[in-house]
Amino acid sequence: MSEAGGVDEMEFRPSAAVSLGVELELQLLRAHDLDLSRGAADLLELLGKRKLPGAVKPEITESMVELNSSVHLQHGSLRDELVAMRDAVVNEAGVLNLRVAGGGSHPFHDWADRRIFPTGRFRAILERYGYLAKQFTVFGQHIHVGCPNGDDAVYLVHMLTRYVPHFIALSAASPFYQGEDTGFQSSRLTSISAFPLAGHMPFVRDWAEFLEYYEKMRSLGIVASMKDFYWDIRPKPEYGTVEIRVCDTPLTVQRAALLGAYAQALAAYHLQERPRAPARAVYLVNSFNRFEASRFGCRGELIEPYESRRKKIGEDILHTIETIMPHALKIGGADALTELAADVRHGYSDANWLLECRTISGSLPDVAREAATRWSGAA
């Protein structure tokens, strides 16, 4: 991976269509008070001695590690690998008396306490963004879907943007932030929006036009590499993928794999059937839809850009699952979509689970503890 970012970095390396991989940012908690810990370095050191299927990497603060799966063609194998990785991480964390948890935000940590992982890139981010960098202690899931070429990747980004509210609502797991009940299903997205290069990809037609845009931004010194774009969905040429970045890290690896299966089936449907052409209208309604999804989850409303009408996000998801089911069947994701649909019908979200946890237990440290127990697979 080159940090410098030149034309080579931007060469789109083809990968098997609709292959699948995920990255999960995880919270490391102290056992005694359930606040965020600073255990990343010690944990990575221990994990370095073990053979793992994917990879575990440092992230911006010392309270976070990132699980990277390898590339999968099916939901089932992705899930099994994530379970194996989770077990390894949870076990080694136990040696250090750390808890590991999913969820898009830590319920009560104080961002001013965070310390940045001491690598060059992360220090540079702190230098550039000031307190935003520390406030950025939020935990997301990134889903990569493979594309055969850059043009397909650009097309897929435009197509998937319509479903951004789906991914937000299905993954939402950050109702608490800095000790407050935010009223949002996903409060995490708000802290990302503060970054100048957050948002979405411009409305380019193909990979050539995208490269033109990228070169312009680079020559103006606004970005140094693709990493500097904090877009909701972005092409990732070095992996040959489209990367969906709006999801909160769910409370379980199983749900993380379900979200992967949903993205995969959506991509298969669009790349194979090409049901629609890219439309500017999608971007017109994007921030409204995005807000509705992060605030209300599946109960929110989105504006369907192609039909210009309002719809409940939950209904829209169920409808979409019906449409893409034939593709899911072909790639082994049907059960996963059925499970997701059932959750939508029952009004389940990880955020609601966390809220209920607080109602029952009465304290945010308890919420963090329960989330860690759930992540470990024990409950």
Partner 1 sequence: MGLSFLPQLPFALSAPIMIGALLAAGLLAGEAANRYLALPRITGYALAGVALGPQLSGVLSEEVLRALSVLIDLSVGLIVFELGFRFDWRWLKRNRWLLATAVAESLFGFGAIFGALVYFGFAPALAASAAAIGTATSPAIVMLVAHELRAEGQITERTLLFTAVNSVFAYVALTLLLPLLHLRLQAGWLEAVLRPAYILGGSLLAGVAACMLMLGLARWLGKREDRQFVLLVAMVVLTVGVARSLNLSVMIALMALGMLARNFDRRHVLMPLRFGHGGQLFFVILFVLTGAGLNFGAWTTAAWLVTVLLVARFLGKALAILAFARLSGVRPGGAGLLAIALFPMSGLAVGMVRDTSELFPVFGQQLGGVLLAAVAFTELVGPLATQFALRRAGEADPEARGE
How far from 325 is each of 118, 155, 269, 349, CA to CA, in Å?
Answer: 45, 21, 9, 21
Task: Give 92 or 248: the residue with its C-beta nearer to partner 1.
Answer: 92
Q: Could you tell me the smallest distance in angstroms from the CB atom of residue 96 to partner 1?
A: 6
Helix (H) or strand (E) holding 23: strand 20-30
322-361 binders of partner 1 (CB under 8 A)? 361
Q: How far apart are CA 61 and CA 56, in angstroms?
A: 14
- The vertex-117 CA angle with 116 and 123, nearest 5°, equals 65
Q: Is 37 in the site for partner 1 (CB under 8 A)?
A: yes
Q: Is 31 in the site for partner 1 (CB under 8 A)?
A: yes
Beta strand ranges found along 190-308 (DSSP E): 198-199, 230-231, 233-236, 241-248, 301-304
Contact present, 69 and 84 (Cβ < 8 Å): no
Residue of the chain from 5, 9, 46, 230 that contacts partner 1 (CB under 8 A): 46
Q: Could you tell me the smallest distance in angstroms from the CB atom of residue 362 to partner 1?
A: 4
Q: Could you tell me the smallest distance in angstroms from the CB atom of residue 377 to partner 1?
A: 15
- Residue 158: other Cβ atoms inside 10 A: 22
CA dihedral (10, 11, 17, 23) in degrees, to 10, reads -40
Residue count at the site for partner 1 (CB under 8 A)? 25
91-130 binders of partner 1 (CB under 8 A)? 92, 94-97, 115
Q: Is 38 in the site for partner 1 (CB under 8 A)?
A: yes
The piece of 20-28, 90-98, 143-151, 193-201 that touches partner 1 (CB under 8 A) is 90-98
Tokens of 134: 């520390």
Task: Give 124 or 198: the residue with its C-beta nearer to partner 1.
Answer: 124
Q: Is 179 in the site for partner 1 (CB under 8 A)?
A: no
Q: Which residues bind partner 1 (CB under 8 A)?
A: 30-35, 37-39, 41-42, 45-46, 92, 94-97, 115, 361-363, 365-366, 369
